[in-house]
Amino acid sequence: MMLKSALFTLLSLSLLLAGEAKQYGQKLTLEKTTPIEAIDKAPESFVGKTVLVEGTVVDVCKKRGCWIKVVDDKSGSSLLVKVKDGEIVFPLEARGKTARVEGVFQKLESTMEETVEHAKKACKLEGKEFDPATVTKPDVSYRLKALGAVIK
Amino acid sequence: MAGCPPAFFFDMTFRNRLRQLHRDFGYFFFGMSVIFAVSGLAVNHIDDWNPNYDIRVKTGRLDSALSLAGPLPITQIARSIGLQDSVTGYVRSDRHRFMIFLGTNSLEIDTLRRTYRYEQVEERWLLHAFNRLHLNELKNGWVFFSDFFALGLFFMAVSGLFLNRGRNGLKGRGGWLALAGVLIPFIFVFLYLM
């Protein structure tokens, strides 16, 4: 009898916790969200700014939980959210959930050698053969360096 | 000095006490040592394999009979691929791509190329738990216990030097082994980090 009630309490508690929002890193300070679509359309104007974005988590770093890809449900625009390894660890279970992330928007400019290395790694991951002719210029990418996030 | 026990008496007592403490710390930290050793091995090779999840990927082309023009026929797509998982949600992830969530598994549909990528994720739960403990994901109270473990390891390392005396002790073979163990990390520091 006692075992049954303990199991019931545990189950109820886990069900309650399952739907609960989870905080990662620092607490969010901004209230107004910036649409991911707006950032996607004019990334240069957001570089260095602290923004709060909201979207669905479509992918998570499967080895270290050190990044998530957040998508704006309406436009399909996406944003890569990166955290310092170990400081915040996003669980794989975050996929499909809604994330509110606050962070500093960054521009990353790779050298030609780095771009070639990235392309080689990407081909290896996808099981494709790397063709050096496909890399014509150094890569420029943007990401949000997350300070804090809430996922529910 | 009259009335004082001989020096070897203190020496014996000190070593015996050290042995007892070393032994008890060893017993107490047996579990932690195993967790950190297993997780250490797993995380050392993180570039070659995923120590937290077993991920299987299945790719292919969508059934040509499926119409992708209107609202995405998620259930039909999942069935045509032979998936039994229940759909928990979906989102447009790109101009021509949709991500369908099936619990922890996912199915990405490219409507332009009419291809799919199904990712089946199985957690290596014990190893994942070990790694999370090792990488201090839990923070709070766990930090205190793992700090205690770190101090315990330090104590065991230092006390281990003085457990034996004679030719197997610090002045003999033990000393040379300890020196070799200290030199190896220093060689790596000089070769690769300076």
Question: Tens digits of per-residue pLDDT, B89-113?
Answer: 889 888 888 999 998 899 999 999 9
Contact B50/A71, CB-based, under 8 Å?
A: no
Query: B91 and A58 in contact by Cβ < 8 A?
Result: yes
- The reply to whether B36 falls in a domain is yes
| Residue B114 lies in domain | 53-123
Q: Return the pLDDT at A16.
A: 45
Distance CA B64, CA B114 (A): 8
> In chain A, what are the domains?
20-109+140-151 (2.40.50.140)
- Interface with A, mutate which of B59, B93, B113 (most A CBs under 10 A): B93
| Domain assignment of residue B183, yes or no | no
More confident residue, A20 or B136: B136
Last residue of a domain, one of B69, B92, B123: B123
> Are both B102 and B40 inside the same structural domain?
no
**Shortest Cα–Cα distance, B190 to chain A (Å):** 26
B12 & B41 share domain:
yes
Ranges under pLDDT 50 in chain A: 11-13, 15-17
Find the largest Cα–Cα distance for chain A: 70
- The conformation of residue B85, written as its DSSP 8-state character, comes to S
Of B52, B94, B121, the CB nearest to A76: B94
Inter-chain CB proximity A92 and B95 less than 8 Å: no
Based on the domain organization, do B37 and B57 belong to the same domain? no
What's the number of domains chain B is made of? Answer: 2
pLDDT of residue B7: 58
Note whether residue B57 is domain-resident: yes
CB contact under 8 A, B104 and A56: no
CA dist., res. A59 & res. A49, Å (int): 24
If asked whether residues B30 and B63 sit together in one domain, one would say no
More confident residue, B186 or A3: B186
Q: Which one, of A56, A62, A99, lies nearest residue B98 by Cα?
A: A56
- The whole-number pLDDT of residue B9 equals 52
A62 and B55: CB-CB below 8 Å?
A: yes
CB contacts of B55 in chain A (<8 Å) are 62
Do B104 and B144 reside in the same domain of the chain? no
The answer to whether B98 and B109 have CB atoms below 8 angstroms apart is yes
- Per-residue pLDDT tens digits for B15-62: 888 999 999 999 999 999 999 999 999 989 988 889 999 999 999 999
Query: What DSSP line would sit under A95-148, residue for residue?
Result: TTSEEEEEEEEEEEE--HHHHHHHHHHHHHHHTPPP-GGG--S--EEEEEEEEE
Provide the pLDDT for residue B134.
93
B168 part of a folded domain: no
